Amino acid sequence: MSTDLTIEQLRTRAADHLMRARARTAALTDAVDEDDLVRQHSPLMSPLVWDLAHVGNQEELWLVRDVGRREPVRSDIDDLYDAFKHGRASRPSLPLLGPAEARSYVREVRDKVLDVLDAATLEGTPLVQDAFAFGMVVQHEQQHDETMLATHQLRAGAPVLDDSPPPQAKVRPSHEEVLVPAGEFTMGTSTEPWALDNERPAHPAYTDAFFIDTAPVTYGDFLHFVESGGYTQEQWWSPAGWQHVQEAGLAAPQFLTREGDHWMRRRFGVVERVREDEPVTHVCFYEAEAYAAWTGRRLPTEVEWEKAARWDPATGRSRRYPWGDEDPGPEHANLGQQHLRAAPVGAYPAGASPLGVHQLIGDVWEWTSSDFMPYPGFAVFPYAEYSAVFFGPEYKVLRGGSFGTDAVACRGTFRNWDFPIRRQIFAGFRCARDAGAEELG
Ligand code: AVJ
Ligand code: FE
């Protein structure tokens, strides 16, 4: 999204994004029968029908009531769809709207929102400036679409989603790792109109020199660690990680099983051989950390990740994306649920950063070693429950988006976070290491 759109272009842009998000929500919820919509597929996830009405309720709160100053559509259900009032595990026992009611609710809200959008000035207050509130609601719906996609992955039963293969590898990235020199760069943003509060403001950030992998760690790489007994060797694990791997009985990435002499993977209902050159997916932070230690390396910090993704050594500027300032296209990155898996390493040479780091955007969310903390100068906007209440050491930052992340909810500055034990999300990682003095010449 560029800032120099006219008000009418902005209105069209917001309407297009609303429509695209809703088409995806509809596809994810129409793909299964009513029983599957109301059922809980995992205690970690809401029933799909909760996500559906929750998306509509957030849209009603922000766009119908707040921006539009219209009468509520259904204030009686606000409490049911407040994520802070009821944890995911308890949601199936709530008196939720049924599938037909939820569908008509989101339709009614959307009709009103399109009226509000037609009439909105889209300037004047920070909430409507550059159609921010519409952008925020679109991102919220796309984030829940990714969450619903994770529910689909957890769901038992026959495949129901379109599964088109990702592009093949076109190149082998020429180095396993690249050197990022010491120095400051600009992290975060003060200009990206739809950036969320935790991405702001732009500020100088310093790193020492470090090496970072040119590609995410693949299944082939990771399974060497598994097969060498890594999950039973305490020395690779942090104390918290070692405790977790034992308590949870982890032995391999989620959804993998050993069959004879090869590994099989269940992926959206399809059971297939693991692809060695595909980024490892569905590992928790502790598994990522242990693998990195086994190779004598570590996870990148969040600052290192963003510097590798955005810093342009030729100009000293930070780009919007690794490839430049253009919005993501299909040649740059595997985003938007176009494919139901990460693409093999080397599939997106056009998306590489100036330093030659590939696939930072799309494919898999990448665990960083950093806690989710506010940037210097952070200000809550427009509500504390998006980011601020989550700041602290319990959450680790993930970067870059996955094949299930829509481009509108994925920027070079975008920050995601989760508990270090979570692995139902589409998460992998890449490794980094300090640059020793001898390598700096
Ligand atoms: C930013 C992905 C961690 O799903 O919990 C959805 C996004 N916030 N509804 C989440 C979100 C409120 C959030 N993450
Ligand atoms: Fe939400």
**What are the average pLDDT values for consecutive 10-residue runs of the chain, which has 441 residues?**
80 98 98 96 95 98 98 96 91 93 98 97 94 98 98 96 96 89 98 98 98 98 98 98 98 97 97 97 99 98 99 98 98 98 98 98 99 98 97 98 98 98 98 83 51
pLDDT of residue 3: 60
Task: For strands 270-273 and 365-372, give the pairing.
Answer: unpaired
The whole-number pLDDT of residue 91 equals 87
Q: Which atom in ligand 1 lies closest to the alpha carbon of residue 417?
A: 3
Question: Does the beta carbon of 416 lie inside 6 Å of ligand 1?
Answer: yes
Tell me, what's the pLDDT at 339? Answer: 98
What pLDDT does 169 receive? Answer: 96
Q: Is the C-beta atom of 143 inside 6 A of ligand 1?
A: yes
pLDDT of residue 172: 85
Pocket residue to mutate for ligand 1, from 147, 149, 395, most atoms within 8 A of Cβ? 147
State the Cα–Cα distance between residues 56 and 363, nearest whole angstrom. 28
- At 175 the pLDDT is 77
Instruction: Tell how far the Cα of 163 is from the centroid of ligand 2, in angstroms.
Output: 26
Instruction: Judge if pTM exceeds 0.95.
Output: yes
Residue with the two structure tokens 């008509």:
104
Q: Would you call 123 helix, strand, or coil by DSSP?
A: coil
Does residue 412 contact residue 319 with C-beta atoms inside 8 Å?
yes
- SS3 breakdown of the chain: % helix, strand, coil, rounded to 5? 35, 15, 50
Find out whether the beta carbon of 147 lies less than 6 Å from any atom of ligand 1. yes
- Give the closest ligand to the alpha carbon of residue 57: 2
CA 364 to chain centre: 8
Asked if 52 contacts 29 with a C-beta cutoff of 8 angstroms, the reply is yes
**Nearest atom of ligand 1 to the alpha carbon of 147:** 4
pLDDT of residue 386: 97
* The pLDDT value given to residue 438: 61
C-alpha to C-alpha distance for 427 and 254, rounded to whole angstroms: 11
Question: Which ligand 1 atom is nearest residue 415's CA?
Answer: 1
Residue 175, amino acid: H
Q: Given the CA of residue 144, which atom of ligand 1 is nearest to it?
A: 6
